[in-house]
């Protein structure tokens, strides 16, 4: 039974580690595209500009990507010059920034709980009693909920699924989902898998905790 319980602990740790990897990946990719040329990330906005240069009588397309923090974007692109394509982005810039900060804050808290849970599980697997200030099994019910709150806040504050475009722009300028948003939902799915896996194996895992604490002796067949 002990060996089987330890195997399940390592499976749980693997699932939680995948959650952390997905979380980190979110901050290196674009969450969504808006107004055709603007890619929104959790911490910045990327402006895409397409050029064509003449080489040997042929025009070669080139793409320039300008990465700007939200404050820099406001200074560089939301000044006195009116551009109907960038105006909707400027109008929503503050909401995008606030949504990113809220997501970073709450999702980071969920990751801290996840890391705590991983170390606790490793300690139990090694026969150590290291439940700390929280019973380790409670952590696995907490972090998916905190991450879900982070995701809901991001979607609600940014209004990502209800972003409008001016009447003179076609559907190509509407919001388009990118890798970051997929990773956000992917991390949520993994966290749910983690808590479901723990829920159905909690009896064995808790018995291993008792063994580590010396409060329980397994019955040998």
pLDDT for 80: 61
Cα–Cα distances in angstroms (integers) from residue 145 to residues 14, 74, 149, 194, 202, in the given order: 19, 34, 6, 12, 18
Domain map of the chain by residue range?
A: 2-213
Q: Which of 98, 69, 84 is nearest to 158 (CA)?
A: 98
**pLDDT more than 90, % of the chain:** 50
pLDDT at 42: 95
- Report, as an integer, the average pLDDT of 137-155: 93
Which residues touch 109 (CB under 8 Å, ≥6 apart)?
146
pLDDT, tens only, 189-204:
999 999 999 988 877 7
User: What is the model's pLDDT at position 219?
Assistant: 44
Phi and psi at residue 132, to the nearest 5°:
65, -150
CA–CA distance from 12 to each of 20, 185, 190, 202, 221 (Å)? 13, 19, 11, 11, 27
d(CA 145, CA 136): 16
Record the pTM. Answer: 0.84
Q: Hey, which CATH number is domain 2-213, 1.10.3710, 1.20.272, 2.60.40, 1.20.140?
A: 1.20.140
**Residue of 82 and 132 predicted with greater confidence:** 82
Residue 4 φ/ψ region, left for φ over 0, alpha for ψ in the -120 to 50 degree band, beta for the rest = alpha
Q: pLDDT (tens digit, 9 = 90+) per residue, 110-140?
A: 999 999 988 888 777 676 655 554 566 788 8
Cβ atoms 18, 197 nearer than 8 A: no
In the prediction, which pLDDT does 139 show? 83
For residues 82 and 131, the model is more confident at: 82
Question: What was the pLDDT predicted at 74?
Answer: 86
pLDDT tens digit sequence for 15-55: 999 999 999 999 999 999 999 889 999 999 998 876 656 56
- Per-residue pLDDT at 18: 98
């Amino acid at each position: 039974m002990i060996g089987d319980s330890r195997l399940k602990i390592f499976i749980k740790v693997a699932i939680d580690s995948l959650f952390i990897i997905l979380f980190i990946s979110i901050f290196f990719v674009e969450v969504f595209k808006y107004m055709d040329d603007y890619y929104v990330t959790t911490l910045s906005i990327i402006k895409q500009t397409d050029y064509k240069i003449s080489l040997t009588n042929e025009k070669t397309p080139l793409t320039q990507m300008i990465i700007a923090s939200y404050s820099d974007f406001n200074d560089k692109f939301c000044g006195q010059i009116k551009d109907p394509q960038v105006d909707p982005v400027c109008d929503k810039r503050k909401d995008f920034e606030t949504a990113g900060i809220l997501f970073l804050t709450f999702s980071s808290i969920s990751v801290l709980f996840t890391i705590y849970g991983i170390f606790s599980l490793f300690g139990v697997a090694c026969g150590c009693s290291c439940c700390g200030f929280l019973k380790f099994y409670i952590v696995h019910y907490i972090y998916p909920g905190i991450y879900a709150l982070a995701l809901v806040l991001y979607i609600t504050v940014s209004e990502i699924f209800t972003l409008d475009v001016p009447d003179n722009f076609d559907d190509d300028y509407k919001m388009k989902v990118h890798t970051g948003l997929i990773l956000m939902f992917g991390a949520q799915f993994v966290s749910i898998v983690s808590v479901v896996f723990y829920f159905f194996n909690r009896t064995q895992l808790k018995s291993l905790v008792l063994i580590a604490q010396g409060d329980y002796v397994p019955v040998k067949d």
